[in-house]
Amino acid sequence: MTREEIRQAVVDIIEELAPDEDVSNLDNAVRIREQIELDSMDFLDIIMELRKQYSVQVPEDDYPKLGTLDGCMDYLEPLMKDK
């Protein structure tokens, strides 16, 4: 997957989890939780969906790296390049 495809995959998961939130034009550089209301349980849902849909395992120590969409793309790119 390309970076843009990874971004869209993460946004799709968020949209599925929080259908009431407006996920269009999320700023890649700003923390996701500072733009839309996601709590810790929602965050674990995202981790679970990445595991379920793309077989990506994210260890707890790396959770802070997924705070922004830029961070998600940087972290997931090597893990999802063959997906």
Partner 1 sequence: MKIPRKKWNPKAPFPPLNADETYIFFISVTEKEKDIDTFLTSMSHGEKERARKYRFKKDKNRYIVARGMLRRILGGFLCVSASNISFTYNHYGRPLLNPDIHKTPLEFNLSYSDDGIIIGITFNRKIGVDIETLDRDVKELVTISKNFFTENECNNICNTPIKEQNLLFLKYWVRKEAYIKAVGKGLSIPLHSFEILLNAEQPLKFLTSEHHDPQLDWNMIEFEPRKGFLSAIAFTGEEHSISIFEESTRLEQGSEYCLKYLKTCKP
Residue with smaller CB distance to partner 1, 31 or 81: 31
Tokens coding 13: 């998961």
Least separation in angstroms between residue 48's CB and partner 1 is: 6
Residue with smaller CB distance to partner 1, 32 or 76: 32
Q: CB atoms < 10 A from the CB of 82, how many? A: 6
Residue with smaller CB distance to partner 1, 26 or 73: 26
Least separation in angstroms between residue 17's CB and partner 1 is: 8
Nearest CA to 79 among 57, 46, 49, 53? Answer: 57
* Residues found near partner 1 in the complex (CB under 8 A): 21-22, 27, 30, 34-37, 39-41, 43-45, 48, 51, 60-61, 63-64, 67
- Fill in the DSSP letter of residue 76: H
Nearest CA to 36 among 72, 68, 60? Answer: 68
Contact in structure between 6 and 82 (CB atoms under 8 Å): no
Least separation in angstroms between residue 16's CB and partner 1 is: 10
